[in-house]
Chain A
């Protein structure tokens, strides 16, 4: 029983991080109908920037701020420079551009910081709480991770539901022509959407860094799991990304605890297929008329 609780706890923590990456992908999918495969490399790059701040003697919080701000800027630059030209081209072209960006950013990071992974300090201790004699797989840092992700999600919900900018963002994503006629600067909104998504992604990078270390290819698995989480939830639904992330996190944790840690990724595949067999468009898909 203790094992089950522990596996659930660690599953929830990693699930929250998957949910964050999934959320970054969902934001971009909603805004531009592009699956951003470069997200993993983008958050890797900003996490490396944060790591550099710590290496130079900066505090954890300064590094976090640098990571988030650079994420915001990187997202905006990427959208303006390489995504804008392919936005109205065949959808697979955008996929290839993001793949190219993924390879390019990894190579740049390797050139600047080397291919060896570096350790990244956590904000709080990663020693688990103890209840009686048993140590739980839940540490103050895990609580911080869960809290930070929850805050970001609440902030995004407020932004999208309760503010003017949020309304414009949603309008630009769902009906670009109409919003343009009504005076919304659609291009600017798309850039902002990418910037926000990239910010969310870079938060996930900094939060998971103590566990996976910082290196050019260390965050690949996070992207795959984040994407899986988003697909499980239905790519259009932010709530779906969170539920998908938690579901995936717990399943992976049980697979690695009860079966073998070597086939964790195969477990992700099985969960995904099981969900898609029942609901081909994800758990939270809204049945809409098929566009012909």
Chain B
């Protein structure tokens, strides 16, 4: 409850500074949420483009990974952070998206963008079914139901009648989508993958940012803070929750589709319980309910284990220790961040910025 109070105050002070700002034609435009978000999306896109040009293929691959994890995490942070509905089964949604994309790429010759949209749409349908079931549940009961989904769904790939189609444990391999020839013949595949992944993620974040800053976002937060009061004010609680879970599932499905394209594989081994737990860890590490927090969390998720394994490879240690060093460090980071920054990294950043402003004035 105190958290919303602080956030409410921050929003009010932001509104106050906006009102006090220059009210010329540009200032007026800037106050339109849509304009602000579009500008941010374009700037981020340009920044990522420059970044991918500067990076080596290996780091571009990591960029692509951060991209699709962020894509799935942003949906989850809306559902869990603003809607208060915890989902431990987001990895299962990614699996649906990845398998849809892999099957479509194998059997149809559709353009990649259409395949990605189809992956998101197919997962949204699954999200609708789960959302209808989950709208009545909350807290640990919802956590339990979604946890069972995360563990159960990937098992379908091994189910006898479906193995001919989904290829069991081996999974479906996806032909890599080569960069268009217009970019030159030596254009690295990894950079192209990073572009696809980041573009889709920026578009997703733009959509979600507009969604949560409008009427829908307010309703969603109201259902989180007080279900009964929200219902009394005319908000249809179940409908709002179901829409949130559909949007979150679509984002996760798109993330899964991107994963299939970047990893060129959709296999049950990629969608273990660990993935679902890592996604929830990412959004809480970053700061629950904030889209920027989802980016921080995804960066930690991809980069910390990769640095740790680089370090373990360079240090001369026995195999058992080297292979277990990345998860050990990841676990320590999870516990450490929660003990030091209970509001996540984005929360810590916000508090820091506020203190700096207070010092200036």
What residues of chain A have their CB less than 8 Å away from a CB belonging to chain B? 29, 35, 37, 82, 85-86, 89-93, 95-97, 99-108, 110-111, 114-115, 220-221, 224, 227-228, 230-231, 235, 260, 262-269, 272-273, 276-277, 280-282, 290, 292
Q: Given A35-B143, A90-B342, A99-B334, are A107 and B133 also a contact pair (CB < 8 Å)?
A: no
Task: Report whether B133 and A110 are in contact in the complex, using a CB–CB cutoff of 8 Å.
Answer: no
How long is the Cα–Cα vector from A110 to B156 in the complex, in angstroms?
29
Question: Apart from A100-B330, A231-B140, what 4 extra A-B contacts exist at CB < 8 Å?
Answer: A100-B335, A104-B335, A107-B328, A268-B152
| Complex interface: chain B residues within 8 A of A86 (CB) | 338-339, 342
Confirm or deny: B180 has a beta carbon within 8 angstroms of a beta carbon on chain A. no
Looking at the assembled complex, report how far the CB atom of A238 sits from the nearest CB atom of chain B, in whole angstroms: 16
- Chain A residue with the shortest CB-CB distance to B84: A92
Main secondary structure of the interface of A (DSSP, over half): helix
Confirm or deny: B41 has a beta carbon within 8 angstroms of a beta carbon on chain A. no
What residues of chain B have their CB less than 8 Å away from a CB belonging to chain A? 3, 80, 86, 133, 136-137, 139-141, 143-145, 147-149, 151-153, 155-156, 158-160, 226, 228, 273, 277, 280-281, 284-285, 288, 320-321, 323-328, 330-335, 338-339, 342
Task: Report whether A263 and B226 are in contact in the complex, using a CB–CB cutoff of 8 Å.
Answer: no
- Chain B residue with the shortest CB-CB distance to A272: B148
- Chain B residue with the shortest CB-CB distance to A285: B141
Task: Report whether A265 and B151 are in contact in the complex, using a CB–CB cutoff of 8 Å.
Answer: yes
Task: Report whether A262 and B158 are in contact in the complex, using a CB–CB cutoff of 8 Å.
Answer: yes
Which A-B residue pairs are the 5 nearest by beta carbons?
A100-B334, A104-B331, A231-B144, A107-B328, A103-B331
| Complex interface: chain A residues within 8 A of B330 (CB) | 100, 103
Task: Report whether B285 and A96 are in contact in the complex, using a CB–CB cutoff of 8 Å.
Answer: yes
Taking a contact as CB atoms closer than 8 A, the residue among A37, A231, A263, A290 that contacts B155 in the complex is A263
| Complex interface: chain A residues within 8 A of B147 (CB) | 224, 227-228
Task: Report whether B328 and A111 are in contact in the complex, using a CB–CB cutoff of 8 Å.
Answer: yes
Interface centre among A35, A99, A114 (most CB of B within 10 A): A99
| Complex interface: chain B residues within 8 A of A281 (CB) | 141
| Complex interface: chain A residues within 8 A of B145 (CB) | 231, 269, 272-273, 276
| Complex interface: chain A residues within 8 A of B327 (CB) | 103-104, 106-107, 110
How long is the Cα–Cα vector from A85 to B136 in the complex, in angstroms?
32
Looking at the assembled complex, report how far the CB atom of A66 sits from the nearest CB atom of chain B, in whole angstroms: 22
Q: Given A96-B281, A263-B159, are A269 and B335 also a contact pair (CB < 8 Å)?
A: no
| Complex interface: chain B residues within 8 A of A221 (CB) | 151
Looking at the assembled complex, report how far the CB atom of B83 sits from the nearest CB atom of chain A, in whole angstroms: 13
| Complex interface: chain B residues within 8 A of A267 (CB) | 152
Query: What's the count of A-B pairs with C-beta under 8 Å?
Result: 157
- Chain B residue with the shortest CB-CB distance to A268: B148
Task: Report whether A96 and B320 are in contact in the complex, using a CB–CB cutoff of 8 Å.
Answer: no
Task: Report whether B148 and A35 are in contact in the complex, using a CB–CB cutoff of 8 Å.
Answer: no
Task: Report whether B152 and A265 are in contact in the complex, using a CB–CB cutoff of 8 Å.
Answer: yes
How long is the Cα–Cα vector from A269 to B146 in the complex, in angstroms?
8
Task: Report whether B334 and A97 are in contact in the complex, using a CB–CB cutoff of 8 Å.
Answer: yes
How long is the Cα–Cα vector from A107 to B322 in the complex, in angstroms?
10
Task: Report whether A262 and B321 are in contact in the complex, using a CB–CB cutoff of 8 Å.
Answer: no
Looking at the assembled complex, report how far the CB atom of B57 sits from the nearest CB atom of chain A, in whole angstroms: 29
Taking a contact as CB atoms closer than 8 A, the residue among A114, A230, A277 that contacts B133 in the complex is A277
- Chain A residue with the shortest CB-CB distance to B154: A265
Looking at the assembled complex, report how far the CB atom of A276 sits from the nearest CB atom of chain B, in whole angstroms: 6
Q: Given A103-B334, A108-B328, are A266 and B281 also a contact pair (CB < 8 Å)?
A: no
Looking at the assembled complex, report how far the CB atom of B97 sits from the nearest CB atom of chain A, in whole angstroms: 19
How long is the Cα–Cα vector from A100 to B288 in the complex, in angstroms?
17
- Chain A residue with the shortest CB-CB distance to B161: A260
| Complex interface: chain A residues within 8 A of B148 (CB) | 224, 228, 265, 268-269, 272-273
Task: Report whether B331 and A262 are in contact in the complex, using a CB–CB cutoff of 8 Å.
Answer: no
- Chain A residue with the shortest CB-CB distance to B169: A262
Looking at the assembled complex, report how far the CB atom of B264 sits from the nearest CB atom of chain A, in whole angstroms: 25
Looking at the assembled complex, report how far the CB atom of A257 sits from the nearest CB atom of chain B, in whole angstroms: 14
| Complex interface: chain A residues within 8 A of B160 (CB) | 260, 262
- Chain B residue with the shortest CB-CB distance to A103: B331
Q: Given A107-B327, A224-B273, A227-B147, are A96 and B141 also a contact pair (CB < 8 Å)?
A: no
Task: Report whether B159 and A260 are in contact in the complex, using a CB–CB cutoff of 8 Å.
Answer: yes
How long is the Cα–Cα vector from A227 to B3 in the complex, in angstroms?
29
How long is the Cα–Cα vector from A111 to B338 in the complex, in angstroms?
24
Interface centre among B140, B143, B149 (most CB of A within 10 A): B140
